[in-house]
Amino acid sequence: MQLQENENQKFRKLQVTGRSSYILSLPKEWVEENGIKRGDTLVVQRDPDGFLRVAPLNSKSLLRETVNEIVVDDLSKEELEAMIIGNYSMGVNCFRLVTGRETFTLSQRKTVKNILRLLLGLRIVSESPTVIEVKSLLNPEDFNVWDELKRIGQLTNLLLRDLIQTLRERRSDVKDIIAQDEEIDRSYLLMRRLLTIGSRSVVVAKKIGVGSSDVCVVWSVIFKRMETLADYMVEMAKVIPDIEYDKLPEEVFKAFLDICDYLLKRYEADLKPIEKAPHELTPVELRPDRFEKLKARLVETEIEHSVDTRTLIALENICFYIKEIIRTLSEYLRAFTYYIQYLS
C-alpha cells in the first residue's frame, strides 16, 4: 500500500543510533515555520491515548492540553463565568471544575451550562457530583477570520436595523433585540480564542486565514471593536423603554430619527470593505462626521418644544451611545486600514 502524504500528515522511518536510542526526523516545513534551529530543545509529551506531541520548548501549545482545575467553592457567579471564559480565550483545551463540598449547587451547575452556551466547541465530557470536566472539540481549520468578520458585521448590522426600526415604529419591547447580542458574543469569543492560539502558532494563524502570528493582535483589535459596537447597540436598546412616545413632540422625534438614520447609513457604508476578498482591499478613508450637526439640530428642537424629563434623558443617553458607536467605528477602520497596509 502506498502512503499518501499531505500538509498535515508526513511519514518518517524510525532509525536506531547506538544501542538504545531511536531517531525520527522532523518535516523541514514544520521546523522552518516554528523557527527551530540546530541545538534548540523540543518538548515531547505523551497523551493519555498514547500519542506523542512535539513542540518547541517555548511553545505553550502542548501545555494547554494539561488539565487545569478550578475550585468553585469561593467563586461568585461572575468570577466563575470569568474563569471559564478566561480558560477558553487563552486556548486551554481541557479543564476541570471541582468542589470540596458533597456536590455542586444547582446555581453553580446552571452558571456553568449557561456560560458554555456562549463558548463554541466547549463541551462537558464528564460530570459527577464533585467534578465537571470540560473539553474543547474545536478544530481551527473549520473557521476563517474573514468569514467570521463578515458574520459579525452582518449580525451587528441586523441588530442596528432592528433597533432603529423599533424606534421608528414607536415600540418599547426590546427583548428580542437584546437577545441577538448572544450570537455576536459567541463569534467574538471564538475568534478571541483562535487568535490567541494563532499568536503562538504560525500553523494555526495560517489555518484561520491570518497568515502570520505577528498580525493576530491586529485582528484581535478588529474583532474587539466589532464586539464593542454590539455592546453599545444593546445599551441603546435598554434605554428605549424610557421614551414616552405619546409625550414626544413630532419635530423632536423627527430630528432624533435623522440622527438614527445617519448612523445606520454610515454603519453600512463603513462595513462595506469587509465584503471584499483580501486581495481586493484598499485603504479605508474616514468619512466626515455629521453627528454633531444633527445633534445640534435635535437640541434646538428640544429647546423649542416641551419634552418631559424622562424622555429627554433617554434621548440624550441614546445619542451618547450613537456617538460612541461612531467613535468605535473610526477605531475599527484604523485597525482595518493598518492590516490592509500590512498586506501590501
CATH topology identical between 15-59 and 141-343: no
Helix axes 250-270, 309-343, angle to 10 degrees: 10
pLDDT score for 14: 79
Answer whether CATH 3.40.640.10 is correct for domain 67-136. no
DSSP codes joined into one string, 139-174: -GGG--HHHHHHHHHHHHHHHHHHHHHHHHTT----
The CATH class that applies to domain 141-343 reads mainly alpha
pLDDT for residue 48: 45
Beta-carbon contacts of 248 under 8 Å, excluding residues fewer than 6 positions away, are 307, 311
Res 107: pLDDT: 94
- Each residue's pLDDT expressed in tens, for the chain with a length of 344 residues: 455 565 556 777 777 776 667 788 888 877 777 777 777 777 776 654 456 777 765 554 444 455 688 899 988 999 999 999 999 998 888 899 999 999 999 999 999 999 999 999 999 999 999 999 999 988 888 899 989 999 999 999 999 999 999 999 999 999 999 999 999 999 999 999 999 998 888 888 888 988 888 888 888 988 999 999 999 999 999 999 999 999 899 999 999 999 999 999 999 988 887 776 655 656 556 667 789 999 999 999 999 998 899 999 999 999 999 999 999 988 888 887 777 776 66
Cell reading at 151: 458574520
For residue 250, the model assigns a pLDDT of 95
Q: Domain residue spans in the chain?
A: 15-59, 67-136, 141-343
Residue 63 pLDDT:
43
Determine the CATH number of domain 15-59: 2.10.260
Place of cell 486600514: 337
